[in-house]
Amino acid sequence: MPRIGRAVARTAVVAGTATAVSGKVAQKQADKQAEKESSNAAPAAPAETETDPIAEIERLGALKEKGLLTDEEFTAAKAKILGI
């Protein structure tokens, strides 16, 4: 009987890990899709887009650190913010 208990416990750990990983992957994909949709939105009028470029770059840096942006995406977005 002790072996059955260990097998059940091991299965529970594996299933829990798989659930956690799949949840994180799904969240990451949803975040990327939301980011992509927001970047594809029609540009707002210049008077409405007065944002702090430093704050925006910091926000992008946080997304990059979380793995939601690649180096290339971060660099392109930063260049766009800076008007380069």
Q: How far apart are CA 59 and CA 20, in angstroms?
A: 25
Given phi > 0 = left and psi -120 to 50 = alpha, else beta, which region is 67?
Answer: left
Mean pLDDT of the 17-30 span: 70
33 vs 44, more confident? 33
- What is the predicted pLDDT for the residue at 22? 66
Which pLDDT tens digit goes with each residue over 53-76?
899 999 999 999 999 989 999 999
Using CB atoms within 10 Å of the CB of residue 56, give its burial: 0 to 12 exposed, 13 to 18 middle, 19+ buried.
middle
Span between the terminal Cα atoms of the chain, in Å: 68
